[in-house]
A and B are shown apart, each in its own frame.
Chain A
Amino acid sequence: MEPLPIVWFVAVALLWTGYLLLEGFDLGVGMHMLVGARSESDRRVMLNAIGPVWDGNEVWLLTAGAATFAAFPLWYASLFSALYIPLVLVLLGLILRAVSIEYRGKIVSRVWTRFWDWSIGLGSAVAAFGIGAGLALTTTGLPIDANGDRVGGPFVWLTPVAVLGGLALVGFCLVHGATFLALKTDGPVRERMRRLVPRLAPVALLPIAGWAILVEVQGGNVFSWILLGLAVVAGVVGWIFARAGREGRAFTGFAVFGALGAGSIFAAVFPVVLPSTIDAAYDLTIWNAASGPYTLGVMTVVTGVALPVVLAYQAWTYWVFRKRIGPAHLPAAHDVTPAIRQAGAAR
């Protein structure tokens, strides 16, 4: 048995989990800006809590996608082409969210700001739902033929499992984002999120638990069951700390829950990366979907060197911006000072 495809299965699983954990709270914060904020000041506090880091977090998606392409091209090709419509929606969501974050504060106008708020909130929700649906289908399968191509129309992916996976990620992002805001902000946002998390978590984390159990029943092994058990423990511990108002420990608990939950799902499906619902003989596995040993070896060296460095400087970023953000830290919103138009009026 070749070791490199296993190494790369673990690496790809880590990259996707890293993406879910880091971007998970960015997407959650985006959604909370729409539903959990009471004032413009609240929304600005929320946005600036993720301001310095969200772009770096999003790169985890690009890297996870590109690493899937490099290490398992057949998986990447089959999955991305089968999920054409949901991925278009994910792309639109991510494009709108990114641009909104940057452009929202550029003009001081209620209409302008509200437009970009909706675009951030909906963009985050659609992206989270679409990515969750896609990952869930990776674990339960799509109707793919011997060549790995989707059989059936553009909407064969739209199944209860996809909806479950979509809700799972949306729910996780909402809890993770709320905990992050409670940890990173001060003032009304912090107070509201502290009260919200203990009530939200038991409901919002149900779909992800459902997805995990579904996958475990389908193909779980001892290892994956243990991971799932530990994930549940971490989630409960996070919830207890959230009730106690210990924001840092609550955040850690839910983050560990997310990591172990994703780990248990990946461990349960191993070595299948995309099952075919038509015929098990068409399943894509880490053995038949992987690149050659040379490519995997090169990628192992590059990743082994680069990933620790990436983790180090991203951690440093969080350290630099470790202070809580409150309404008092925000500079007054300012319009683009129309210097020259003022001059025209003055003359």
Chain B
Amino acid sequence: MDPLEIARWQFGITTVYHFMMVPLTLGLGAVVVVLHTMWVRTDDEKWLRMTKFWGKLYLVNFIMGVATGIVQEFQFGMAWSEYSRFVGDVFGAPLAMEGLLAFFVESTFLGLWIFGWRRLPKKLHLATLWLAVIGSWISAFFIIAANSWMQHPVGIEFVDGRPVMNDIWAVLGNNTAWAAYPHTLAGAVAVAGAFLLGISWYQLWRRRADGIDRVAENGHVIVGEAPEIPGRDAADHRVWLRSLRFGAVIAILGFGAVAVTGDIQAKLMYEQQPLKMAAAEAACYSGSDFSILSIGRLGSANCDDVTTIIRVPGLLSFLAKGDFTTVLPGINELVPQYQEQFGTHLPDDPKYGERAGSEIQYVPNLEVTYWGFRIMIGFGAIAALAAAVALWLTRKGTVPRSKGLMRLAVFGILAPFGANAAGWIFTEMGRQPFVVAPNPTGVDGVFMFTAAAVSPGVDGREIVFSLVALGLVYLVLMIVEVMLLARYVRAGVAGVMPERFASHDDEPTDPDAGGGAERDDVLAFAY
């Protein structure tokens, strides 16, 4: 068994899986901060309910991100020891900084927030959530900075065959990182927006299906109450309508920011990794047009197999350079340049294993890059469009009666997740055959072929074992997480604030005001 291929699959699977949780954590965390802040400022019951409900879903998801994140750090050393030896001087620093400056903050203060209800003064309690979420956003920066260094190595000199860091500010100020970071955060906000939108839509639809809310002749909604169902009062309606419209707005804003930052990234990529962008566009010959539909042979990295069906003249030049007439180099012109600079064959060195001396395939998998790029943009745009439609449909205070539309809204939660995953697959697969892509204006010699990065001492069977074991556990946990999320979603606010809806008292006690029937020394939150 070929350790390289299995290790690559493992890294891809574990990373994409981890990145299902991460954008939701980043985006939903920011949402919950806003909700909690609004509650502290206004003392309006609606905001508290929203904080509790979305906060619960946030925590169910957060833990999966934590659990799968440890795997990410460990597998650099486990499966990619040659990579770790080569880049350790530079790459380890942002990882360690993530732990020291961000992840400690995130985890410690989140613990304080979870258990701090009624323990900490209101404002201090709010501050712990702010710190936890800011910690997670800073954490994302250090990880992106580390990844961006692999895409565009800077801040180094070349000593004894290894890059040695000589400028940490260049590493942290890498323009690749500063393009990718806002792009990733905006993507996370879009994920959270679609999440709020879909779930709130379901809840409002449920209220109509249960006959609680009705629509008057003039089209305006008549908010009803159903005292026999926990939580289904008028405030409940406000919770979901506000969540829905807030979600729709941030989904649209998120997509707008994604588009702007994506454009900046694409322009940078044309300078830094021209072959990746050319592959993403299936731009085979110089001066290729932007292609909306190209077809080729499956899995091919060969331009002869590509046929472009629909093209838009001038657009590609505009996207890459900001004008309509620049002739961009195509794959057929770029490959000889790469061959001249980095050789046509891998060196005859034992560290390349059975690949030593074989021809280097400089063009990344065209199918994956071309369609990864289009799925990323397409799914993102669809989600934003859907959010705009949702804003229009809910302008009078509730959702349409249609069950099909409700299903579409819930299913639509997946679209930005798909866009995020496709984006990462595109940017990482597009880097191949390099694990550290050469920087055209950087230090000579600082690049690494993926084939040389895998651990020489590790047996293919070991990686298969870990791939199967992690894969099975990940699969089971994904099912459990989705099942739990679905349970809480169906239960609504009553599911996360049982104390409030336990009885049908006209004046339920407010546990967070510290008074009422609740005993003071009983924890507000406990496992």
Contact = CB atoms under 8 A, between A and B. Distances in A.
A69 B501 contact: no
Given A85-B462, A292-B89, A103 B523 contact: no
Contacts of B480: 99, 103
B339 interface: no
A106 B484 contact: yes
A346 B115 contact: no
B498 A291 contact: no
Interface string A315-343: 00100110001001111001011111111
Contact of A331 (B60, B487, B491, B524): B524
A39 interface: no
B81 A63 contact: no
Contact of B470 (A88, A328, A347): A88
Contacts, number: 298
B456 A147 contact: yes
B517 interface: no
| Category for how many chain A residues contact B | 35 or more
B527 A91 contact: no
Nearest to A85: B462
B135 to A, nearest CB: 10
Contacts of A67: 92, 96, 99-100
Contacts of A83: 78
A331 B469 CA distance: 36
A87 B124 CA distance: 39
B85 A62 contact: no
A307 B91 CA distance: 20
A66 B92 contact: yes
B101 A337 contact: no
Contacts of A292: 89, 159, 164-165
Interface residues of B, number: 94
Given A48-B523, A320-B116, A73 B78 contact: no
A contact face: mostly helix, strand, loop, or mixed: helix
B523 A92 contact: no
A82 B457 contact: yes
A66 B226 CA distance: 54
Contact of A302 (B97, B104, B210, B231): B97
Interface stretch (B61-69, B288-296, B392-400): B61-69
Given A48-B523, A81-B79, A295-B165, A73 B470 contact: no
Interface in B33-92: 59-60, 63-64, 66-71, 73-74, 76-79, 81-82, 84-85, 87-92
Contacts of A80: 74, 76-78, 81, 84
Interface stretch (B106-114, B324-332, B372-380, B419-427): B106-114
Contacts of B59: 102
Given A67-B92, A330-B523, 14 more contacts: A44-B526, A53-B108, A56-B111, A69-B73, A69-B95, A69-B96, A70-B93, A88-B462, A102-B60, A147-B456, A154-B462, A313-B109, A328-B521, A339-B490
Interface of B: 59-60, 63-64, 66-71, 73-74, 76-79, 81-82, 84-85, 87-93, 95-101, 103-105, 107-112, 114-116, 119-120, 159, 164-166, 168, 206, 210, 226, 228-232, 455-459, 461-463, 465-466, 469-470, 473, 477, 480, 484, 487-488, 490-492, 494-495, 498-499, 501, 521-527
Interface of A: 44, 47-48, 51-56, 58-59, 61-63, 65-67, 69-74, 76-85, 87-88, 91-92, 94-96, 98-99, 101-107, 144-145, 147-151, 153-154, 291-292, 294-295, 298-299, 302-303, 306-307, 310, 313-314, 317, 320-321, 325, 328-331, 334, 336-343, 346-347
29 contacts: A55-B108, A55-B110, A56-B107, A63-B100, A66-B96, A67-B96, A74-B85, A77-B81, A84-B79, A87-B78, A91-B71, A95-B71, A98-B66, A107-B484, A107-B487, A150-B458, A294-B164, A294-B166, A298-B165, A299-B96, A307-B100, A317-B111, A320-B116, A325-B523, A331-B523, A336-B488, A337-B230, A340-B210, A342-B229
